[in-house]
């Protein structure tokens, strides 16, 4: 059986020429863009563009230069392109802050906040969902290109190609699902339900600069210097997680999607093109605190719930930094984030630890804490992983 191809190319920076060459090389390994995308077809390009407005150098969004270079290649094929994501911009234009407004205007490419064109109800025979609301721009495109950013995630450990497709459903529903599916395993099953409805034809990951620590928005930029591409989002996520020191078999989105045969997560079924995995692995990539819980498969099952409860991150408002913008209150799916005496506060008893408030606060006024035992477990895991890597 032919193996699934994942191409890895080095790129030192977001310098346009270097990005273009690396994209071309990746696409060449996969057969060439003109063989992948039908000329003059309608292409939807799904970027990763979180709601709080953030400039590209914060490495929260798929970098606009990376997207721009791909758009130039697609325009050469005469494609009718739409770039989009569903974002919740209140006062500021998030697309302006990230640079997307500018690059799309320069190229004459349509840029859409998906909420502006509405969502279509479709049936879903998923593990969790029996129907879903998806952007018609995505459903009606001839070709779907997924441009995830390589990042850790404070709730599900890792966010990449599978998770990026969550942005094709309405923002309000995403908040509701956070409330409804508060266990990460169940949440990931729901993510794969959505993914299964809109599997991208091509996935190209911006891993030139990734985010480590408490992603997807409050971590730190980390240079990885790579672009990855594959037709198979699951294979691409498996390779990306390996590069940053995570075990793909412990990432729920990856294992669930592979179990449903939406792609492969088995490294021996993946053909790597370009760089070798051992040459691009990042040994000191900082994981999110929750990823410590991923070692629990080695522990007796009766301990899982307890360990998870200790590892969970607890959001806390820093009153001095809080500008009372209320964005955390608006996004909180349970009402645990509230305004009190002109500052946000979080009612711990109602908090389901979805991290939406943390993700949305652009003033860094929400800090994530951990229970003392959780901190110890995290340190012990770091030592455990070091020992394992020493012997592997
Ligand atoms: S905590 Fe952040 S998001 Fe919430 S009101 Fe304060 S500044 Fe706004
Ligand atoms: S307070 Fe924050 S972490 Fe807790 S439920 Fe609300 S949005 Fe989620």
In sequence order, which residues have a C-beta less than 8 Å from that of residue 255 and are 6 or more positions away?
248, 249, 265
Does residue 289 carry a pLDDT above 80?
A: no
Q: What is d(CA 149, CA 212) in angstroms, rounded to the nearest whole number?
A: 11
Does residue 306 carry a pLDDT above 80?
A: no
Band (361; pLDDT cuts 50, 70, 90): confident
Band (1; pLDDT cuts 50, 70, 90): confident
313 ligand 2 Cβ < 6 A: no
Q: Which atom of ligand 2 is nearest to the CA of 347?
A: 1
Q: Which ligand is nearest to the CA of 361?
A: 1
Percent of the chain past pLDDT 90, that is, above it, reads: 68
Highest mean pLDDT, choosing among 8-17, 171-180, 216-225? 8-17
In sequence order, which residues have a C-beta less than 8 Å from that of residue 178 and are 6 or more positions away?
187, 333, 352, 354, 356
> Nearest C-alpha to atom 7 of ligand 1 is from which residue?
322
> Ligand 1 site: residues with CB under 6 angstroms?
317, 322-328, 344, 360-361, 363, 365-366
The mean-pLDDT minimum among 7-11, 79-83, 128-132, 387-391 falls in 387-391
Three-class secondary structure of residue 52 per DSSP: coil
As to burial, measured by CB atoms within 10 angstroms (0-12 exposed, 13-18 middle, 19+ buried), residue 80 is middle
Question: How much distance in Å is there from the Cα of 351 to the middle of ligand 1?
Answer: 16
| Residue 39: both structure tokens together | 């000329």
Distance set, CA 253 to CA 186, 194, 250 (Å): 10, 11, 9
List pLDDT tens digits, range 18-53: 999 999 999 999 999 999 999 999 999 999 998 778
Band (134; pLDDT cuts 50, 70, 90): very high
Q: What is d(CA 381, CA 247) in angstroms, rounded to the nearest whole number?
A: 14
Question: Ligand 1: which of 89, 328, 356, 359 to mutate, judged by most atoms within 8 Å of the beta carbon?
Answer: 328
Q: Which ligand is nearest to the CA of 328?
A: 1
Q: What is d(CA 177, CA 175) in angstroms, rounded to the nearest whole number?
A: 5
Domains in the chain (CATH in brackets) are 4-280 (3.40.50.11440), 289-391 (3.30.70.20)
Question: How much distance in Å is there from the Cα of 343 to the middle of ligand 2?
Answer: 15
Q: What is d(CA 239, CA 9) in angstroms, rounded to the nearest whole number?
A: 13
Nearest CA-CA partner of 162 in 238, 226, 86, 216: 238
CA dihedral 318, 321, 327, 329 (to 10 degrees): 30
Three-class secondary structure of residue 264 per DSSP: coil
Question: How much distance in Å is there from the Cα of 220 to the middle of ligand 2?
Answer: 21
338 ligand 2 Cβ < 6 A: no
> Nearest C-alpha to atom 4 of ligand 2 is from which residue?
351
List pLDDT tens digits, range 58-103: 999 999 999 999 999 999 999 999 999 998 766 678 999 999 999 9
Does residue 312 carry a pLDDT above 90?
A: no
Band (304; pLDDT cuts 50, 70, 90): low
Q: What is d(CA 188, CA 136) in angstroms, rounded to the nearest whole number?
A: 23
CA dihedral 50, 53, 57, 60 (to 10 degrees): -20
Pairing mode, if any, of strands 157-159 and 149-153? Answer: antiparallel
Question: Ligand 1: which of 51, 92, 217, 344 to mutate, judged by most atoms within 8 Å of the beta carbon?
Answer: 344
Mean per-residue pLDDT over the chain, rounded: 90
- Specify the pLDDT at position 308: 66
Q: Which atom of ligand 2 is nearest to the CA of 328?
A: 7
- Specify the pLDDT at position 347: 94
> Nearest C-alpha to atom 5 of ligand 2 is from which residue?
351
Three-class secondary structure of residue 259 per DSSP: helix
Q: What is the mean predicted confidence (pLDDT) over 307-333? A: 86
Residue of 130 and 303 predicted with greater confidence: 130
Q: Identify the helix (H) or strand (E) that includes residue 80.
A: strand 80-85
The pTM (predicted TM-score) of the whole model is 0.84
- Sign, CA dihedral 176-217-69-25, equals negative
Q: What is the mean predicted confidence (pLDDT) over 317-324? A: 96
Does residue 298 carry a pLDDT above 70?
A: no
> CB–CB of 20/33 below 8 Å?
no
346 ligand 2 Cβ < 6 A: yes
- Specify the pLDDT at position 102: 98
Matching residue, tokens 């994981």: 287
> CB–CB of 207/226 below 8 Å?
yes
């Amino acid at each position: 059986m032919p193996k699934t191809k994942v191409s890895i190319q080095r790129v030192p920076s977001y310098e346009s020429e270097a990005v273009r060459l690396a994209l071309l090389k990746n696409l060449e390994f996969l057969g060439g863009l003109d063989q992948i995308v039908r000329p003059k077809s309608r292409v939807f390009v799904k970027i990763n563009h979180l709601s709080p407005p953030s400039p590209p150098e914060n490495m929260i969004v798929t970098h606009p230069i990376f997207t721009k270079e791909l758009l130039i290649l697609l325009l050469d094929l005469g494609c009718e392109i739409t770039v989009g994501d569903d974002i919740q911009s209140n006062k500021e234009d998030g697309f302006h802050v990230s640079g997307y407004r500018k690059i799309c205007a320069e190229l004459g490419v349509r840029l859409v906040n998906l909420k502006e064109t509405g969502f279509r109800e479709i049936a879903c025979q998923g593990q969790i969902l029996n129907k879903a609301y998806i952007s018609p721009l995505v459903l009606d495109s001839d070709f779907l290109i997924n441009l995830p950013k390589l990042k850790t995630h404070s709730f599900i450990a890792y966010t990449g190609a599978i998770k990026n497709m969550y942005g094709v459903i309405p923002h309000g529903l995403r908040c509701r699902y956070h409330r409804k599916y508060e266990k990460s395993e169940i949440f990931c099953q729901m993510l794969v339900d959505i993914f299964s409805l809109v599997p991208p034809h091509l996935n190209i990951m911006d891993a030139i600069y990734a985010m480590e620590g408490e992603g997807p928005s409050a971590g730190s930029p980390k240079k990885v210097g790579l672009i990855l591409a594959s037709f198979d989002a699951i294979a691409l996520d498996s390779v990306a997680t390996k590069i940053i020191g995570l075990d793909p078999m412990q990432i729920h989105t990856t294992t669930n999607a592979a179990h449903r045969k939406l792609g492969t997560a088995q490294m021996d079924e993946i053909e790597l093109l370009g760089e070798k995995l051992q040459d691009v692995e990042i040994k000191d990539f900082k994981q999110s605190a929750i990823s410590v819980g991923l070692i629990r498969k080695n522990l007796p099952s009766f301990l899982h719930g307890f360990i998870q409860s200790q590892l969970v991150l607890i959001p806390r408002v820093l009153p001095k930094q809080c500008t009372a913008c209320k964005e955390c209150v608006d996004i909180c799916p349970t009402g645990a984030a509230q305004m009190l005496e002109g500052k946000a506060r979080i009612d711990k008893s109602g908090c389901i630890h979805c991290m939406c408030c943390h993700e949305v606060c652009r003033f860094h006024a929400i800090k994530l804490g951990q229970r003392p035992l959780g901190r110890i477990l995290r340190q012990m895991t770091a030592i455990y992983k070091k020992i394992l890597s020493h012997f592997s």
